[in-house]
């Protein structure tokens, strides 16, 4: 039986400054910015963090079938992907998860682009993207602590629809199972999440210690 979805209306995680700067293309050895630019950057990061309303959800679900080309969830839904199947090679369960920073920062990004400061929009965009990823990191850290009691752990990496050979259409499977409308998310017919700065992913659940076979 599929477990219940766990929702978090407020995730206490923020993006790391280093990650934000990397997304902006900052290189500590090559990038030179003056004092005015530094103040503008710092202000943009502070604004972005304040505008993010990080929320998320996860669901633990068993795999009913596993092959080199696909995995099948216990509800019968097929996810074709060689890369995902490889990630889940030692897993008989998966964790479906989603995180969103909410609509407020996305609205501000568009406002800055249209009638504000486009450079601030770029900074806010980087903060929002990294914060959404930080939300998934937080969910994985939390769930790993719960799994430790069972002698299990999540795969080191997670995989999101739209990357590699995992088609973006698989967003609908995760979206529907997590019932993300409860967090005010929507999915377009092109499988794009709204608000835009939202992300879905899967990670495998596997034994903490590999057993000899």
In terms of Cα–Cα distance, which of 135, 105, 134, 115 is closest to 45? 105
Q: Is the pLDDT of residue 80 over 50?
A: yes
- Average pLDDT across the chain, whole number: 93
CB 128 within 8 Å of CB 109: yes
Closest C-alpha to 4, from 162, 184, 212, 179: 179
Q: Are 152 and 121 in contact (CB under 8 A)?
A: no
Give the global pTM. Answer: 0.92
C-alpha–C-alpha distance, residues 160 and 96, integer Å: 10
User: What does the alpha-carbon distance between residue 202 and residue 83 come to, in Å, rounded to a whole number?
Assistant: 12
pLDDT, tens digit (0-9, with 9 covering 90-100), for 22-54: 998 877 667 777 778 889 899 999 999 999 999
Q: Which of 7, 17, 28 is nearest to 96 (CA)?
A: 7
Place of tokens 């050979």: 165
pLDDT at 84 over 60: yes
């Amino acid at each position: 039986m599929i477990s219940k979805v766990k929702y978090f209306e407020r995730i206490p995680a923020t993006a790391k400054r280093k990650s934000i700067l990397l997304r902006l293309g900052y290189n500590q050895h090559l990038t030179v910015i003056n004092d005015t630019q530094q103040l503008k950057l710092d202000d943009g990061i502070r604004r972005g963090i304040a505008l993010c309303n990080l929320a998320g959800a996860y669901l633990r679900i068993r795999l009913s079938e596993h092959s080199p080309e696909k995995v099948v969830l216990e509800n019968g839904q097929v996810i074709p992907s060689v890369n995902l199947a490889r990630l889940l090679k030692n897993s008989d369960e998966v964790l479906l998860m989603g995180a969103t920073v909410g609509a407020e920062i996305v609205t501000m990004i568009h406002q800055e682009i249209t009638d504000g400061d486009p450079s601030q929009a770029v900074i806010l965009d980087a903060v929002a993207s990294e914060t959404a990823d930080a939300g998934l990191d937080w969910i994985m850290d939390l769930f790993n602590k719960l799994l430790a009691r069972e002698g299990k752990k999540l795969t080191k990496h997670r995989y999101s629809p739209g990357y590699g050979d995992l088609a973006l259409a698989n967003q609908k499977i995760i979206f529907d199972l997590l019932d993300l409308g409860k967090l005010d998310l929507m999915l377009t017919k092109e499988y794009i999440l709204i608000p835009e700065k939202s992300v879905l992913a899967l990670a495998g659940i596997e034994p903490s210690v590999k057993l000899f076979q």
